[in-house]
């Protein structure tokens, strides 16, 4: 059973903030829209400041509303954690950890990390949500995830960085690709071959497009998807896919693909970050999972990069 210490006006406010709509919030709360509107007006009157901008297509938080929502998310998340711990005093470990990550980590990296974590923490209860970059950030901001794992090219507002590591974009290709004989490739060389790329919201695509713009290069991708797990198995010479090492770890290790770094600085301007909600105190179990993620990122990157360089020298 979910437990909340928020007052009715605060709960109604948070639901409207999450849904962006009074009617949708009312449906979730099983009350009339007019009841939601009254509680929001009551709260704004008490605080003497508007919390929402009323728009034709819904409700958008004001700056004051954003500040209040961030505080309430943290308060509610910490309350849920304490309640789990109190329940665990009776003999059952409070072991839930909720993780959100972008889909590039779902094929090989995250399952292996979680398998090892479960081996060391048998009583843990893990929840994993795979989503688009914006969706992962939203889950963390709403308090629906404890930990987020994603590639970033700019700071994530409202998030605390638990770990940050360089995550350059690589050109992934079959071992017999002409560019596979080189230690590194340029963007200008890559655009001469058929390119399979992510959707425009994907960080690898953003950096590649930026580099092309700087150099005055134009390309027409042969395959576009927001799901790298679809792109990677389709790679055949002379195709090239843009991705990170950890995204393609399973295919690099079994020799199906090789990874070559780009020489352009723009292609290095990405980081892999483990994030939590700013102001939130992670449970000891969540902290342990963060530590395992950090170790896996460090060890995995060194191992795969070393292998990629060794192949390039042959």
- Tell me the domain boundaries of the chain: 8-68, 70-157+275-298, 170-270+306-313
> For domain 8-68, is the CATH number 1.10.10.10?
yes
Query: What pLDDT, on the 0 to 100 scale, is given for residue 233?
Result: 84
Cα distances (Å, whole numbers) of residue 97 to 192, 225, 277: 45, 30, 14
Query: What pLDDT, on the 0 to 100 scale, is given for residue 12?
Result: 92
Query: What pLDDT, on the 0 to 100 scale, is given for residue 201?
Result: 80
Query: What pLDDT, on the 0 to 100 scale, is given for residue 3?
Result: 52
Token pair belonging to 55: 């728009």
CATH of domain 70-157+275-298: 3.40.190.10
> Rounded to an integer, what distance in angstroms lies between the CA atom of residue 307 and that of residue 301?
10
> Rounded to an integer, what distance in angstroms lies between the CA atom of residue 45 and that of residue 42?
5
pTM for the whole thing?
0.69
- Asked if 294 and 166 count as a contact pair (C-beta separation under 8 A), the reply is no
Name which CATH class applies to 170-270+306-313.
alpha beta
Which of 98, 169, 167, 152 is closest to 130 using CA atoms? Answer: 98
Per-residue tens of pLDDT for the chain, all 314 residues:
455 567 888 989 999 998 999 999 999 888 999 999 999 999 999 999 999 998 888 899 999 999 999 888 888 777 776 666 666 544 444 578 999 999 888 877 899 999 999 999 988 899 999 998 889 998 998 888 999 999 999 888 889 999 999 999 999 999 999 999 999 999 999 999 999 998 888 899 999 999 999 999 999 999 998 887 788 888 899 999 999 888 887 888 889 999 999 999 999 999 999 999 988 888 889 999 999 999 999 875 555 445 544 444 44
The reply to whether 170-270+306-313 shares the fold of 8-68 is: no
Query: What pLDDT, on the 0 to 100 scale, is given for residue 278?
Result: 87
């Amino acid at each position: 059973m979910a437990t909340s210490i928020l007052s009715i006006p605060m709960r109604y406010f948070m639901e409207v903030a999450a849904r962006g709509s009074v009617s949708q919030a009312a449906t979730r709360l099983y009350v009339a829209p007019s009841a939601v509107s009254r509680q929001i007006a009551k709260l704004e009157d008490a605080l003497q400041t508007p919390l929402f901008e009323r728009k034709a297509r819904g409700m958008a938080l004001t700056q004051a509303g954003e500040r209040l929502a961030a505080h309430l998310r943290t308060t509610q998340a910490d309350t849920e954690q304490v309640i789990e711990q109190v329940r665990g005093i009776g003999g059952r470990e409070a072991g839930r950890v909720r993780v959100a990550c972008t889909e590039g980590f779902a094929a090989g990296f995250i399952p292996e990390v979680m398998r090892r974590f479960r081996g060391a923490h048998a009583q843990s209860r893990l929840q994993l949500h795979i989503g688009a970059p914006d969706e992962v950030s939203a889950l963390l901001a709403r308090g629906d995830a404890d930990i987020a794992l994603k590639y970033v090219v700019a700071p994530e507002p409202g998030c605390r960085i638990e770990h940050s590591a360089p995550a350059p974009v690589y050109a992934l290709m079959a071992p017999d690709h002409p560019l596979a004989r080189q230690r590194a490739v340029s963007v200008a060389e890559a655009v001469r071959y058929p390119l399979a790329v992510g959707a425009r919201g994907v960080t690898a695509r953003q950096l590649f497009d930026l580099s092309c713009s700087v150099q005055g290069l134009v390309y027409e991708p042969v395959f576009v998807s927001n799901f790298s797990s679809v792109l990677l198995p389709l790679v055949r010479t002379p195709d090239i896919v843009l991705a990170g090492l950890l995204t393609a770890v399973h295919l690099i290790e079994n020799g199906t693909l090789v990874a070559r770094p780009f020489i352009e600085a723009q292609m290095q301007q990405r980081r892999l970050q483990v994030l939590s909600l700013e102001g939130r105190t992670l449970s000891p179990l969540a902290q342990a999972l963060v530590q395992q993620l950090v170790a896996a990122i460090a060890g995995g990157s060194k191992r795969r990069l070393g292998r990629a360089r060794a192949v390039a020298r042959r």
